[in-house]
Structure 1
């Protein structure tokens, strides 16, 4: 059986898309899969992977997102880059005798630089360059690094391209592909990889929207201020009091943070849920099957992401809404609203001051299935197996 080694230095907790990838890999029956995570990975993550028969090895000491810290500097970047490159080299060397492919996902410029350095050293030692699949999630327009982030991103991609067929790189969405092509001055990235969504059997088994109850999904995912978690009590104060008896609001979240603002918001939500049977809180990580049911049962999804943070940053919430044809109500315009339109998802932008419980129930609109939708919503596990 062919082997896939998933290199994920960002995997530490059972939350977010790093943990969700485990569920996606469970659908890959034709390959032997193992994962190398961060050394601080929680035991519940290991147990979750083991439940699917996936080996998980705590390995990386590098803080995968450390470079995004506000107090990071050039010395810090250099240190992170060197440590990650060293860990990549050691891991790739460890499995040199195996005929395996490596999957690197959620990659940004610094991860690409580190991987290119590792591959270059392997090449210099006259060893065969391993076969790697790289998923590019970050848009080079999403942040500024001393005014040079675009150049750094472009240089990192060029370094990876020199390894030819040994490296297969795939943007995660239309705007990432567009931005990289613009930086390179070519159309080398013409396709995106399928997004990491629940596999087909789970979609088929998901519950449809129930008659008589109109469910609104106000939040889904990791509790973050940039995703509007701290504003949920205020939003509920606007939509709960005058909502009809047939409306139910649902908030699903995980919170691994000790941020006082997030904890305060969580306490307020618990208080509101205790007093009102119209609000349901779902705490903790959701499997793909449960997530599918949640979206299929929801008549609308509220998106309240910070437009500055998410102007060029992607979110799987839109892809899930597209997959299950869940209309979106957004409180601002950003990548999410642009992506919704590209995917043919019903998406209305409503100001917070104008938001009411009825804002979520506009007349149904005809769904337009675009070519981009078909490409992005293709089966990830089938696509992955075809890479071998």
Structure 2
């Protein structure tokens, strides 16, 4: 159903995970803000963590109202579970924060103006602990005087964490099933899976059809307007920051992104100096780009950072961008690329998705993958040109197969496993413009 053009839309992002310039949280919020920059019918509000850098929130589009609200650590028990008592206390504490956040946003509503305003809360990232906390919060809100107004809102829940792990733990699956089934009891909640595999898993877990949401990192870009032969921008040589980007067109040179995103060991960051050094020693007509941001004091990450900068100072065809990128800068990086390397841990990413892969698919980059995991399966589903290189030697030999975008025939992204209703394919849903998708899900 299309948006009622006479009603003002309030899009309220609840993001307790937005605490620092790391992970997908800041990139997602920036993409959402960019998508609605010129939409006068939609006002955007953000409730983030209290520790979220003020410099980041002040840099958001002027129409985004920001409140530093949440105090709970989103990832406190993400990788290992505490005692049942500690876990219950964590969920109860977080539920109280969700309650106060929703009440804060509903506080200005009254019977006179509620018909002229549509309210959509967006929890773009929930693990099972947060799903449980949000369900508890909605239980409480329905029992008090806010119940009438809660019935008037909708809550978008993004499903990006798999109920499965590398060992297919029954306990993990049970936690996800109990939490999300509890949340699904609330009619105001709308679920959207971020990828095909999660769509199948959550549709089974919830015993209801779960649709696909668009890749949030692509944002407002229209795939039909994407010109694969447009002049590309290549980052300036050497160790630079994003502010020093300069334009250069060279359609005969291949640009390969060796890394982008947070510096993480499970994404192969510490192996980059060795891989990059060998590639630089054996290739010439290639431009290599490495972009990363370091969000902790790990000695290994710091040492890797030093090695990469040293390599960049010695090789004119290596660019190192050692800082967080704004959304538009990230898009420019992928427009500049012809191929991208993935060296993600095969176990950690066996059932974990990656927005980087979707950005690469949207911009028609060839995929070089050194491990077999979700990346491989998703590249196959999206009919991408992808190469499995399980060693640096094989990777080095494979580079000759990478051609500049300008010399390629545009490849139609046509997945082998179509999903959804009628003729809508998986890729159609992944790459639809964000505002168009939003308009269609607002009642």
- C-alpha distance 68-143 of structure 1, shift in aligned 2 (>3 A): farther
What is the CA-CA distance between 1:106 and the residue it aligns to? 1.0
* Match in the other structure for 1:114: 133
Identify which of 84, 91, 99 aligns with 1:74.
Answer: 84
Q: Which of 59, 68, 87 does residue 97 from structure 2 map onto?
A: 87
Which residue, 176, 180, 199 being the options, matches 2:220?
Answer: 199
Shift of 1:43: 1.9
Q: Which residue of 1 aligns with 2:159?
A: 136
Q: For residue 178 of structure 1, what is the aligned residue in structure 2?
A: 200
| Partner residue in 2 for 1:2 | 9
**Residues 118-177 of structure 1: CA deviation (Å, up to 9, x unaligned):** 00111122523342111111111036797411112112221122112x111111111111
Q: Trace 1:1-388 onto structure 2 (pairs within 5 A).
A: 1-26=8-33, 27-28=35-36, 29=39, 30-49=41-60, 51-70=61-80, 72-97=82-107, 98=109, 99=117, 100-125=119-144, 127-128=147-148, 129=150, 130-142=153-165, 147-164=170-187, 166-184=188-206, 186-189=207-210, 191-196=211-216, 197-200=218-221, 204=226, 207-208=231-232, 210-244=250-284, 246-362=285-401, 366-370=411-415, 371-388=425-442
Query: 148-157 vs 331-340, which deviates more?
Result: 148-157
User: Which ranges of structure 1 fall in alignment gaps of 5 or more residues?
Assistant: none
Q: TM-score, normalised by structure 1?
A: 0.92
Q: Which stretch has the larger CA shift, 57-66 or 194-203?
A: 194-203
- What is the CA deviation profile of residues 225-249 of structure 1, one whole-angstrom value per residue up to 9, with x for unaligned ones? 01111100110122110112x2111
Residues 1:71 and 1:121: Cα distance change in structure 2 (over 3 Å): closer
Alpha-carbon distance in structure 2 between the residues aligned to 1:120 and 1:13: 30
Following the alignment from structure 1 to structure 2, what is the Cα–Cα distance between the partners of residues 4 and 101?
5
User: In terms of mean alpha carbon deviation, does 290-299 or 103-112 score higher?
Assistant: 290-299
Root-mean-square deviation (Å): 2.2
- Measured after TM superposition, the shift of residue 201 of structure 1 is 6.9
Q: Taking structure 1 as reference, are residues 42 and 241 closer, same or farther at Cα in structure 2, changes over 3 Å only?
A: same
Distance 1:52 1:14 in 2: 19
Cα pair 2:166 2:347 within 8 Å, conserved: no
Q: Equivalent residue of 2:261, what SS? A: strand
| Paired residues of 1:12 and 1:41 also in contact (CA < 8 A) | yes
* Matched residues, number: 383
TM-score, normalisation: structure 2: 0.81
Assess, with a 3 A threshold, how the Cα gap between structure 1 residues 111 and 65 changes in structure 2: closer, same or farther.
Answer: same
Of residues 284-293 and 317-326 in structure 1, the stretch that sits farther from structure 2 once superposed is 284-293
Distance 2:82 2:309 in 1: 36
Relative distance call for 1:305 and 1:161 in structure 2 (3 A) is same
Which whole-Å deviations, capped at 9, do the CAs of 1:3-62 have from their partners, x for residues lacking one? 11110001122333211123222221231101001000112211221x443121111001
Contact residue 238 and residue 355 of structure 1 kept, 8 A: no
Partner of 1:355, secondary structure, is: helix
Q: Quick one: distance in 2 between partners of 1:382 and 1:39?
A: 31
Task: Give every structure 1 segment of 4 or more consecutive aligned residues whose post-TM-superposition deviation is greater than 6 Å.
Answer: 143-146
Residues 263 and 292, structure 2, Cα contact 8 Å, conserved in 1:
yes
Matched residues in 2 for 1:259 and 1:319: separation?
Answer: 28
Q: Distance in 2 between matches of 1:178 and 1:217?
A: 31
Q: Check whether the contact 2:123–2:155 (CA below 8 A) recurs between aligned residues.
A: yes
Task: Classify the secondary structure of the residue corresponding to 2:77.
Answer: helix
CA distance in 2, matches of 1:337, 1:25: 27
